[in-house]
Structure 1
Amino acid sequence: MSDVDLNCREENTKLSSFPIEILSFNIWNNQLSIPGTLDFLMSFNVTKKLSNDIEFSTKIQRKLGPNWIHVPCLAGIGGCEKQSLCSLIQKACKTNSFIQSNSKNSKNPCSCDLDIGIYTIEHVPINIKRKKSAKLAQPITPGQYRLQVMFLKSKPNTIIGCVIGYLTLLKSNKFV
């Protein structure tokens, strides 16, 4: 990952602070194949108690000249459906990859209800699948890409956190 915009502040300076403040975000893969596995780290500070109805969505954009072009959900890649943050937390807990700074005070350190405090998710494998129904020989071409992850409270549909990472794809289907 070549650059990270924590909390999407560079993108939109008018944004107020979110209940989920991203402290760090890193993709550990030197290369990412599609299909393949994404290995990442994310530390975040929860500034107010949040219930378990948090989702996250990803948006991928490709740089063409000076503009960023949205990559639609093709072959399971791009701007696809929302996913449950609770499911990601539960997956991380199974491998002891979910760390809560104030877990000594918590009755259930793997709860999807997030108390105020700092949390880290690290080395949780996220499988990136290619849909068999997609008839794309190469869904992604070499170039610069922007990956945006938005955290949303499902009811009401409100943004509560954001991070943007910048990647360069050197060869087809390999992120570096």
Structure 2
Amino acid sequence: MQALLLALALSALQLCPAVLGGPQHQRFLLGNGGPIRLSRVHNFAWQNCAPSAPAQMKSLNLIPDPICIPGDVTLSASGTTTITLDAPVKAVITLEKKIGDMWLKVPCVDDLGSCTYDDLCAILDTLVPPGQPCPQPLQSYGIPCHCPFKAGTYNLPPSDIFIPNMDLPSFLTNGDYRLKSVLSNGDQEIGCLKLSFSLHSGSQWLWW
């Protein structure tokens, strides 16, 4: 995985529920039908979608399958970048839902869905204020959580992370989902990653 995405994802996981479900973020969880409690994740899959980009995910594993929420997950990952990743790093996220045989784009609502983030480095600074130590397990393995990310290889050995209760916004109704993230700096595409996984909420199934 791109080093920046790895740090961003791990920082967010470690700061739950403040990031994903804390009181200051309730606006992310509101929808016409109210929030949906997530209970299970399974069938996680990923792939690079820009083989010539300077940042590449080499491995990304989540155990067990399915993941029960709340519960523990063992995460391992490795990625490499041939260039230094520095601000501003732009992320264009495309989230699609499968309706019949078609994939329909989920709009961006309150920073969730198919959204554009102009500077992931600034988001990392919000999650972990500069001067504070990086959250575990990043700190133990020398993985930075702030820009710049120097060129090189970043490895996260199998690490246990606790996933707390979290809610999904009601507009992410049950179905099959896929997500594409494209990172860029100016006119240069840094990396591209596709994700898919199944989410279970109550008696309903959801793909992301």
Shift of 1:4: 2.6
Matched, 1:145 2:182: no
Q: Is the Cα contact below 8 Å between 1:40 and 1:124 reproduced in 2?
A: no
Larger deviation, residues 56-65 vs 18-27: 18-27
Aligned to 2:134: 94
Q: Is the Cα contact below 8 Å between 1:150 and 1:162 reproduced in 2?
A: yes
Which protein is richer in strand relative to its size? 1
Q: Report the secondary structure of 2:124's partner residue.
A: helix
1:2 corresponds, among 24, 31, 43, to 43
Go from structure 1 to structure 2 and tell me whether the alpha carbon gap of 1:169 and 1:96 turns closer, same or farther (over 3 Å shift). Answer: closer
Provide the C-alpha distance between the structure 2 equivalents of 1:68 and 1:129, rounded to a whole number of angstroms. Answer: 24
Q: Which runs of 5+ in 2 are unaligned?
A: 1-41
Larger deviation, residues 55-64 vs 42-51: 42-51
Go from structure 1 to structure 2 and tell me whether the alpha carbon gap of 1:98 and 1:25 turns closer, same or farther (over 3 Å shift). Answer: same
Taking the TM superposition and a 5 Å limit, the aligned residue runs for 1:96-111 are 96-98=136-138
Provide the C-alpha distance between the structure 1 equivalents of 2:140 and 2:183, rounded to a whole number of angstroms. Answer: 18
Which protein is richer in helix relative to its size? 2
Q: Is the Cα contact below 8 Å between 2:175 and 2:206 reproduced in 1?
A: no
Provide the C-alpha distance between the structure 1 equivalents of 2:180 and 2:75, rounded to a whole number of angstroms. Answer: 14
Aligned residues: 150
Q: Is the Cα contact below 8 Å between 1:57 and 1:149 reproduced in 2?
A: yes
Matched, 1:23 2:64: no
Matched, 1:59 2:91: no
Shift of 1:147: 1.5
Aligned to 1:160: 190
Aligned to 1:74: 109
Shift of 1:23: 1.8
Q: Which amino acid aligns with 1:6?
A: Q
Q: Is the Cα contact below 8 Å between 1:62 and 1:70 reproduced in 2?
A: yes
Q: Report the secondary structure of 2:116's partner residue.
A: coil
Provide the C-alpha distance between the structure 1 equivalents of 2:145 and 2:134, rounded to a whole number of angstroms. Answer: 9
CA deviations 1:108-135 (Å, max 9, x no partner) are 955512222112578598xx898xxxxx
Aligned to 1:133: none
Taking the TM superposition and a 5 Å limit, the aligned residue runs for 1:126-137 are none
CA deviations 1:9-58 (Å, max 9, x no partner) are xxxxxx4511111123456793679xxxxx97653201123333223232
Provide the C-alpha distance between the structure 2 equivalents of 1:32 and 1:67, rounded to a whole number of angstroms. Answer: 29
Aligned to 2:120: 85
Provide the C-alpha distance between the structure 2 equivalents of 1:44 and 1:109, rounded to a whole number of angstroms. Answer: 13
Relative to the length of structure 2, the TM-score reads: 0.53
